[in-house]
């Protein structure tokens, strides 16, 4: 994994702007601590910071290639999981290779197929290719959106980068937030509308999008893949066998690495399955898998079972450790460190996020990086197999709006009156929800339940899952840790999109299909364990700590929060014991308080100017 950035301008002389480009590279140096490179020409600058995973000696970037007609230069962030197949196909077409790096395979795939190279890729990626003679830039992002790719476009230039901070480091990019940005922060946060970069003029290439940028045509964006509704003709047993193949194949492909690799292990179904498949593969090679878990100081003392989290994780983690005989590592986080990390998590994400969930993951990844460079994680299983409560609770499922965030009116109550009125007129949340539902591909004649579940899957893939992928990418790459997510293999997503809901809910269990498909990989108490979310602290000291810090913010008349929210609403938040789900089951009152703490830090640190013209 790496960090990429660049500038294309047909009006500027870019070879004189090395200081600017060095500053942009510095902004994303944590994504690539092992090396950095630049390509500069009159109208193009490509920037790269490298985390070496495959072929450390031969994969330096930017990488260049000439086919005799055109010269190509690439900067690339990601991993290809079908590198060997692509290399063999390209060799048959006459290509030769001098490295084992997937970068060279990707570069020559582009030279061979052009934009259609994305149709051949299985992996997680964001990359840019500059064609020297045509003076044309190609950009592309993976189908699921695991790797980020932001851009800022003006008539003078296109600036792109793996993270917002790389683009914001350019002096021509203002640190301004308009009404749309305020809407994202107050009504959608920590999520974002797909493609929105919150800052004015900042956008993100959507998952499965590719684009050309040239002098003559400007920026031309197209979509190369989308979920398509098809009739499912396999029996349940055939479906389970198909799922077992797809998942074990995806995990096997993602265990390829020239550096140490491990897995997250929470004791839940998804991470335990990944760890079990990986441990078996390692055992065949005579190696022992490293697994990693996180917990919080005194959580056993303060844990309270709930509908969403019926039991604590540690006993199940220890059971899996014994079952798999892994080299296991615990990270135990105390409240003061967790609260302090709220601010660093903002600087990793470049935006307010999932507060303590982000902060704990940042601290966790920092500890993991002491042992391995690559780790596998279980993101996306719940979105694909229907594991969240809103998939299975008929009342939640039938409610209008984003099921993880039924709090728009409550959120609006924090805004200054003039902002609240403007946001009310925009109806951003309602419009975004309807647009996603209306654009969902449905199969004519199928039941209302099946159509409803397709819409639910699209909502989750396009919105909720993107927030989790943002979180996992930024918190891990902040410590130079590459996290791979096998459930995000696009083949699994496309297949599961057409599997009937009754199969997914087999036996009345959440993710019943996945459990049946993977029988034999886990002890029964893990295989049939009720879903438990990412662990969070239950220590009451956390609420006290974030409340104290927000109260301190409110005593400052120059607190940046007052540009968009009222002091009275935040005072009420601190005094009230009302508990509302802000974003999923992990963000209630303590996390709402922490979210405004993060928002204040973000506005101050990024010198955000609110412009409500």
What is the tens place of the pLDDT at every residue in 161-178?
999 999 999 999 999 999
pLDDT of residue 422: 96
259 plus 376 within the same structural domain: yes
Provide the number of structural domains found in the chain. 2
pLDDT of residue 292: 97
Find out whether 138 and 96 touch, Cβ atoms under 8 Å. Answer: no
How far is Cα 356 from Cα 362, in angstroms, rounded to an integer? 10
Assessment of whether the complete model's pTM goes beyond 0.75: yes
pLDDT of residue 311: 62
Domain containing residue 58 = 2-176+200-223
User: So which residues are the catalytic ones?
Assistant: 2
- Strand pairing category for 327-333 and 374-376: unpaired
Give the start-end residues of each E strand in 20-153: 35-40, 44-50, 63-66, 71-80, 123-131, 136-141, 150-153
Is it the case that residue 70 has pLDDT exceeding 70?
Answer: yes
pLDDT of residue 1: 64
140 plus 84 within the same structural domain: yes
- State how far the alpha carbon of 602 is from the alpha carbons of 76, 174, 194, 560, 591, in Å: 28, 15, 21, 9, 16
41 plus 102 within the same structural domain: yes
pLDDT of residue 58: 65
Other residues' Cβ atoms within 10 Å of the Cβ of residue 303: 18
- Strand pairing category for 209-214 and 136-141: antiparallel
Phi then psi for residue 403, to 5 deg, are -65, -25
Angle between helix axes 335-349 and 465-477 (nearest 10 degrees) is 100
H helices then E strands: how many in the chain? 26, 19
Q: For residue range 444-462, list pLDDT tens digits in order.
A: 999 999 999 999 999 999 9
Find out whether 267 and 313 touch, Cβ atoms under 8 Å. Answer: yes
Q: What sign results for the dihedral spanned by CA atoms 226, 229, 231, 237? A: positive
Give yes or no for a cis peptide into 213 (omega within 30° of 0).
Answer: no
State the average pLDDT for the chain.
Answer: 94
Domain closes at, from 188, 223, 258: 223
Burial of residue 293 (number of CB atoms within 10 Å: 0-12, 13-18, 19+): buried
Q: For residue range 190-206, list pLDDT tens digits in order.
A: 999 999 999 999 999 99
Identify the band that residue 304 occupies on the pLDDT scale cut at 50, 70 and 90.
Answer: low
Phi then psi for residue 467, to 5 deg, are -65, -40
Q: For 553-580, b where at least 16 C-beta lie within 10 A, e where not — what string?
A: bbeeeebbbbebbbeeebeebeeeeeee
382 plus 283 within the same structural domain: yes
Please give the full DSSP string across 250-297, using - where no structure is assigned. Answer: HHHHTT--SS-EEEE--SSHHHHHHHHHHHHHHHHTT---EEEEEEET
How far is Cα 277 from Cα 270, in angstroms, rounded to an integer? 11
- State how far the alpha carbon of 113 is from the alpha carbons of 73, 90, 119, 183, 509, in Å: 15, 10, 9, 41, 44
Is it the case that residue 305 has pLDDT exceeding 60?
Answer: no
Domain closes at, from 499, 527, 555: 527
Identify the band that residue 67 occupies on the pLDDT scale cut at 50, 70 and 90.
Answer: very high
32 plus 135 within the same structural domain: yes
pLDDT of residue 154: 97
How far is Cα 310 from Cα 180, in angstroms, rounded to an integer? 38
45 plus 122 within the same structural domain: yes
213 plus 82 within the same structural domain: yes
| Within a domain: 544 | no
Is it the case that residue 464 has pLDDT exceeding 70?
Answer: yes
pLDDT of residue 534: 72
| Within a domain: 564 | no
323 plus 204 within the same structural domain: no
């Amino acid at each position: 994994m790496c960090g990429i950035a660049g500038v294309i301008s047909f009006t500027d002389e870019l070879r004189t702007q090395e200081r600017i480009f060095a500053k942009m590279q510095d902004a994303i140096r944590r994504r690539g601590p092992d090396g950095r490179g630049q390509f500069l020409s009159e109208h193009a600058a490509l920037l790269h910071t490298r985390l070496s995973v495959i072929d450390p000696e031969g994969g330096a970037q930017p990488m260049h290639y000439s086919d005799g007609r055109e010269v190509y230069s690439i900067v690339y962030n990601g991993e290809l999981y079908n590198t060997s197949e692509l290399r063999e196909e390209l060799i048959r077409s006459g290509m030769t290779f001098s490295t084992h790096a997937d970068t060279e395979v990707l570069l020559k795939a582009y030279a061979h197929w052009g934009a259609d190279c994305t149709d051949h890729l299985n992996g997680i990626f964001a990359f840019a290719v500059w064609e020297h003679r045509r003076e044309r830039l190609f950009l592309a992002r993976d189908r699921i959106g695991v790797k980020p790719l932001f851009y800022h476009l003006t008539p003078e230039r296109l600036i792109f980068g793996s993270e917002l901070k790389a683009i914001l480091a350019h002096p021509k990019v203002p640190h301004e937030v308009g009404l749309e940005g305020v809407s994202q922060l107050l009504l959608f946060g920590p999520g974002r509308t797909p493609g929105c970069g919150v800052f004015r003029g900042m956008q993100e290439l959507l998952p499965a999008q590719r684009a050309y940028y040239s002098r003559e045509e400007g920026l031309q964006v197209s979509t190369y893949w989308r979920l398509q509704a098809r009739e499912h003709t396999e029996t349940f047993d055939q479906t389970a066998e198909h799922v077992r193949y797809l998942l074990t194949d995806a995990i096997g492909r993602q265990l390829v690495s020239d550096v140490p690799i491990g897995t997250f292990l929470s004791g839940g179904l998804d991470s335990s399955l990944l760890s079990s498949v990986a441990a078996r593969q390692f055992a065949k090679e005579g190696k022992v898998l490293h697994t990693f878990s996180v917990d919080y100081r005194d959580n056993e003392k303060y844990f309270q079972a709930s509908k969403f989290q019926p039991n604590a994780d540690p006993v199940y983690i220890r059971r899996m450790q014994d079952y798999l005989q892994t080299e296991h590592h615990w990270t135990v986080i105390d409240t003061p460190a967790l609260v302090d990390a709220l601010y660093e998590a903002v600087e990793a994400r470049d935006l307010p996020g999932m507060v303590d969930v982000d902060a704990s993951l940042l601290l966790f990844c920092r500890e993991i990086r002491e042992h391995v460079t690559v780790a596998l994680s279980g993101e996306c299983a719940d979105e694909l197999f229907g594991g969240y409560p809103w998939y299975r609770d008929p009342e939640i499922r039938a409610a209008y709006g984003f099921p993880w965030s039924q709090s728009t009116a409550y959120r609006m109550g924090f805004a200054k009156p003039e902002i609240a009125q403007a946001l009310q007129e925009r109806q951003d949340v309602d419009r975004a929800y309807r647009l996603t539902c209306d654009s969902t591909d449905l199969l004519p004649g199928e039941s209302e339940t099946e159509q409803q579940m397709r819409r639910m899957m699209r909502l989750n893939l396009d919105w909720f899952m993107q927030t989790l992928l943002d979180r996992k990418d930024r918190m891990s790459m902040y410590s130079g840790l590459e996290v791979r997510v096998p459930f995000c293999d696009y083949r699994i997503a496309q297949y599961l999109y057409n599997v009937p809901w009754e199969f997914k809910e087999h036996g009345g269990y959440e993710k019943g299909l996945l459990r049946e498909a993977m029988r034999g990989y886990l002890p029964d108490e893990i295989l049939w364990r009720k879903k438990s979310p990412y662990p969070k602290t239950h220590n009451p000291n956390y609420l006290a700590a974030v409340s104290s810090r927000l109260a301190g913010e409110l005593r400052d008349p120059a607190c940046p929060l007052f540009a968009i929210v009222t002091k009275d609403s935040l005072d009420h938040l601190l005094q009230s014991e009302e508990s509302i789900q802000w974003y999923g089951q992990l963000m209630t009152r303590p996390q709402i308080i922490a979210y405004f703490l993060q928002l204040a830090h973000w506005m101050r640190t990024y010198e955000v100017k609110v412009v409500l013209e």
